Chain A
Amino acid sequence: MAWSDIDEYDVRQLMDASAMASLKDDINYLLAPNAATYHHPGTGANYTTTGLGEDLDATNFNLSIVTGGGLVMGMFYGQFKTSVAGNTVRATIVHVDPISYIGRNLFWDYTIETASGDTNGEPRGWVQYFPGLPAGTHQFKVVWGIGGGATGTLLVGWRPRFSVVEK
């Protein structure tokens, strides 16, 4: 289902079936706006990184939705750890446009971090809002990084989950 712009009404204009259908569709869209989720199955190799601003998983933690111009809410949770306690592993959600996609390489522009080197790492979950996006198809990715020659890990056994929804 998609959001559509409804034409403005004029004085004494008669409603027609098309106008009422658009109104109906938009109301229905608000009940169940476009959304996407990836829930990791919890098996296979953990994710690792030694770089800055890398895609966590360019295939799966990479979601696109068609929006009607409303705010998009993104959310992620997972279990992160670092190979060197004190060297922080960091992550965020980016909207893939010419600005934020470049901005993902700014290592300090991240939303969460942990310096935990514990066997099971530490949990991190967060919500990010993306206001002001024009109507159209929008792509969102989870990106992450670590500095100091350490290795960052996302443990898949806890089934990390990534969602985006227009609201």
Chain B
Amino acid sequence: MAWSTLPTLADGGTPTAAQLNQYKGNLDYLHSQRKYNYEYSGTTNFTTTGTTWGTISSDFIGTIVTSGGHLFALLSGVTQQLELDISLNGTRLCSTAAAGTGSLRMDNTGYAEIMNLPVLYNNLAAGTYVVAAQWKATSGTGTLDASYRPRFHVREL
């Protein structure tokens, strides 16, 4: 199902079935929602010792084809010694800040705490968007704890 540009109808005319079905099609499109959901259910922690930015795994990458509008992304998990960010078509949210900085950082060692990164991308043009969770270690081994089922959610909003 695809979004279509609705016709402008004039007084005195009779809308065709095809025209009215475009209205129906767009309502169905809005209801169906383009989205990507991932919830990890394994038992092995995600870990990294990398100090440069990279993706967590292919499961933390969502590709959404939009018809124009907003994208909402949410990365959540329990972490330690990690910096997290989200990229849109390869550009991290925080890429224009101080070199290497992410959007959120958890330095704590020996215990993990929750990190939520909710992001709204406003008024994107119609197209294909690759949204990816990115990470790097702040020191030692950065950990995304499996027992709290980290999640990555992307949807057209």
Chain A residues in the interface with B (C-beta under 8 A): 15-17, 20-21, 23-24, 27-28, 30-33, 35-37, 39, 41-43, 73, 75-77, 79, 118-120, 122-127, 157-159, 161, 163, 165, 167
Contact = CB atoms under 8 A, between A and B. Distances in A.
Contacts of A21: 8-9
Contact of B67 (A31, A39, A126, A158): A31
Interface in B92-131: 93-94, 96-98, 101-108, 113, 115-120, 122-123
Given A20-B15, A159-B93, A36 B122 contact: yes
A69 to B, nearest CB: 17
A77 B117 CA distance: 6
Contact of A27 (B26, B74, B115, B157): B26
Contact of A125 (B9, B68, B118): B118
A30 B67 CA distance: 12
B123 A35 contact: yes
Contact of A122 (B69, B93, B113): B113
A32 B70 contact: yes
Contact of A165 (B23, B68, B157): B157
B33 to A, nearest CB: 11
A166 B118 CA distance: 16
B27 interface: yes
A157 B30 CA distance: 37
Contacts of A161: 93, 103, 119
B10 interface: yes
19 contacts: A15-B9, A21-B9, A24-B8, A31-B26, A36-B122, A37-B120, A42-B101, A75-B118, A118-B108, A120-B105, A122-B106, A123-B105, A123-B115, A127-B74, A127-B118, A158-B101, A158-B102, A158-B104, A161-B93
Contacts of B72: 165
Interface in B10-54: 10-11, 15, 23, 26-27, 30
A27 B68 CA distance: 13
Contacts of A75: 118-120
B148 interface: no
A161 B107 CA distance: 20
A127 B74 CA distance: 10
B10 to A, nearest CB: 5
What are the 3 tightest A-B residue pairs by CB atom distance, in nearest-first order?
A42-B97, A123-B104, A163-B120
